[in-house]
Amino acid sequence: METYGIEKLGITSPKNVYRNLTPSRLIEDALLKGEGHLADNGALAVYTGKYTGRSPDDKFIVDTPGIHDVIGWGKVNRPIEREKFDNIKEQVAEYLNGKDVYIFDGYAGADKKYTQKFRIINELASQNLFIHQLLIRPTPEELENYGEPDYTLICAPGFKCDPEKDGVHSEAAIMIDYEAHMIVIAGSGYAGEIKKSVFSTMNYVMTTMDVLPMHCSANMDPETSETAIFFGLSGTGKTTLSADPNRKLIGDDEHGWSPDGVFNFEGGCYAKCIDLAEETEPDIFHAIRYGTLVENVIMDPETRALDFHDKSITENTRAGYPVDFISNSQIPGVGGVPKVVVFLTADAFGVLPPISRLSRNAAMYHFVTGFTSKLAGTERGITEPQPTFSTLFGEPFMPMPPLVYANMLGEKLDKYGTKVYLVNTGWAGGSAADGAKRMKLKYTRAMVTAALNGDFDDVEFKHHDVFNVDYPVHCPNVPDEFLDARGMWADKAAYDAQANKLAKLFTDNFSAKYPDMPEEIVAAGPKAAE
């Protein structure tokens, strides 16, 4: 039996070792082992058990001398000793002895100049299917000449840590050893931990190769190859706005910006599918078919129909599928140097301009800040909009200090003259708490299209004194009055109070989280009235 070197990891007596099985064979094994069920649309539906999302408190980075001084340690990047990591790794390897082991040898990084080889070792056939579809799949010739991986990831959801003995927080542990090029995931059946551990690794190694790693989507004009990237937290419309039928989708989540352009880290998509409907998200709806892994979506046991509206397990229902399941995808996932960067935010306070142009320093400020807001009523006790700030629009996955990534962005904006816009897909004419309506999607689409087409190059802009940004007075296919955030409020004094309130939340967050940020970046942020 070929073991592909896993005995070096301590997996010395597996029952069987399977490498790069086809999706159909992985689905067959998963069904035989009771890991999931086949839905009526052909997708493999699984339930992930106790963990239906990422477990941030259980994520660790091995603290070694070689990386200690370059990691942004804190609440997100928690250290763990090499001894504890090695102990859990050895226990996981021993746990896998006597079991079927599934290996996927694949790639992260569609631009071959920067491609990293990842060997993923799974206990579950269903999780091996997931990562087969999410990473870049090698051709038969590439697989034959694959050689040694750059990074190895072992995932064993059935192994439960002992917090007291193992020195971790719970039965789950997600640990990355950057120096040893090793990742161990134990105790969690949520497949997103695998994907995000690969992303976190790329976010470390790419910075050493003059590549800015980004938690964003990207698309391109099919004729000119002009490329745009979209940053945005959940609920801001990133997936909807980047999946433009007139443009080709490079990728929906993880990218690098190199001297040559933008490239997708992945070969697949991991889409939220709560309340998914064919009418609103036809591309994602039709991508959920044979070969797709669906997590925690309720399935009718008799009809095998998936109920995308049922939140009884979690709102974080997910579907993982290859990017070429999307009809207008760009294969390979490589585009040009971005012409435009779009930061998306859903402002439930209703005060940010619907679209504004950012200077270089303002772009760095908003990149570091990563703002959106929660609605009142989404959680018990929340009666007004709540700000959400996620550093770099992907705080949980960025191992280095924020300024490292911000400086890389600033350097690229200087070098390439890329334009940056802040687009508010949220509320207008009042706050969400007061019953205002969200900005119409057709107007937001028109603003984004105008930014991508360069329609704002010759348009007059006005300065917003509170938010310290410039907003256009005209946009094709958008009424002029819909561009003036303050003008849309009937009560101007109420607008001013709400705008200053949000601006202070920005400045309080920035001063608390980034006390050492350069003054020119701080000065480019909002200015709350005294």
Tokens 């040898």, residue?
105
Q: What order do you get walking across the sheet with 318-322 strand by strand?
A: 37-38, 44-46, 293-295, 318-322, 268-272
Q: What is the DSSP string of 14-53?
A: -SEEEES--HHHHHHHHHHTTS-EE-TTS-EEE--TT-SS
- CA angle 243/245/246 to nearest 5° reads 115
State pLDDT tens for residues 190-217.
999 999 999 999 999 999 999 999 999 9
The one catalytic residue among 215, 339, 357, 374: 215
What residues does 25 pair with on adjacent strands?
Answer: none
What residues does 343 pair with on adjacent strands?
Answer: 231, 422
Residue 245 in this model has a pLDDT that exceeds 90? no
Using CA atoms, how far apart are residues 353 and 461, in angstroms rounded to an integer?
A: 12
The one catalytic residue among 126, 239, 258, 373: 239
Residue 433 in this model has a pLDDT that exceeds 90? no
Residue 114 in this model has a pLDDT that exceeds 70? yes
Amino acid identity of residue 172, one-letter, is A
Q: Is 253 a catalytic residue?
A: yes
Residue 107 in this model has a pLDDT that exceeds 60? yes
Q: Is 234 a catalytic residue?
A: yes
The residue that leads in pLDDT, 194 or 379, is 194
Using CA atoms, how far apart are residues 389 and 370, in angstroms rounded to an integer?
A: 5
The one catalytic residue among 89, 117, 247, 318: 318
Neighbours of 345 (CB within 10 A): 25
Residue 66 has φ and ψ, to the nearest 5°, of -70, -25
Residue 401 in this model has a pLDDT that exceeds 70? yes
Q: How many residues does the chain have?
A: 530
State pLDDT tens for residues 127-142.
999 999 999 999 999 9
The one catalytic residue among 63, 253, 283, 347: 253
The one catalytic residue among 12, 13, 22, 234: 234
Using CA atoms, how far apart are residues 186 and 15, in angstroms rounded to an integer?
A: 20
Q: Is 318 a catalytic residue?
A: yes
Written out in words, the top-level CATH class of the domain with range 6-36+58-210 is alpha beta
> Given CA atoms 140, 142, 146, 152 in this order, what sign does their dihedral have?
negative
| Domain 338-395+414-439+454-522: which CATH number of 3.20.20.80, 3.20.20.70, 3.40.50.720, 3.90.228.20 | 3.90.228.20
Average of per-residue pLDDT across 476-499:
97
pLDDT at position 170 is 97
- CA angle 357/359/362 to nearest 5° reads 100
pLDDT at position 380 is 43
Percent of the chain past pLDDT 70, that is, above it, reads: 98
> In 3D, which of 14, 445, 392, 464 has the Cα closest to residue 216?
392
State pLDDT tens for residues 54-96.
999 999 999 999 999 999 999 999 999 999 999 999 999 999 9
Question: Quick one: how far is CA 415 from the chain centroid?
Answer: 26
* Contacts (Cβ under 8 Å, ≥6 apart) of 168: 58, 60, 80, 84, 88, 161
Residue 20 in this model has a pLDDT that exceeds 50? yes
> In 3D, which of 409, 421, 238 has the Cα closest to residue 340?
421
Average of per-residue pLDDT across 308-322:
95
Helices marked H in 102-215 — which ranges? 125-134, 140-144, 163-166, 192-205
Using CA atoms, how far apart are residues 207 and 203, in angstroms rounded to an integer?
A: 7
Neighbours of 527 (CB within 10 A): 17
CB 489 within 8 A of CB 482: no
Beta strands in 439-491 (DSSP E): 461-464, 469-472
What residues does 135 pair with on adjacent strands?
Answer: none
State pLDDT tens for residues 346-376.
999 999 999 999 999 999 999 999 999 976 4
The one catalytic residue among 181, 238, 247, 419: 238
The model's pTM is 0.95
Q: Is 196 a catalytic residue?
A: yes
* Confidence band of 529 (pLDDT split at 50, 70, 90): confident
pLDDT at position 377 is 42
Give me the chain's average pLDDT, please.
Answer: 95
- Give residue limits of the domains in the chain: 6-36+58-210, 269-323, 338-395+414-439+454-522
Fold of 269-323: Phosphoenolpyruvate Carboxykinase; domain 2 (2.170.8)
Beta strands in 131-226 (DSSP E): 151-156, 173-177, 182-186, 212-215, 217-220
CB 283 within 8 A of CB 368: no
Residue 383 in this model has a pLDDT that exceeds 80? no
> In 3D, which of 308, 299, 244, 319 has the Cα closest to residue 276?
308
Residue 384 in this model has a pLDDT that exceeds 80? no
pLDDT at position 321 is 97
Residue 46 in this model has a pLDDT that exceeds 50? yes
Using CA atoms, how far apart are residues 451 and 355, in angstroms rounded to an integer?
A: 9
Residue 93 structure tokens: 């390897």
pLDDT at position 378 is 39
Average of per-residue pLDDT across 173-187:
98
Percent of the chain past pLDDT 90, that is, above it, reads: 92
The one catalytic residue among 19, 54, 248, 366: 54
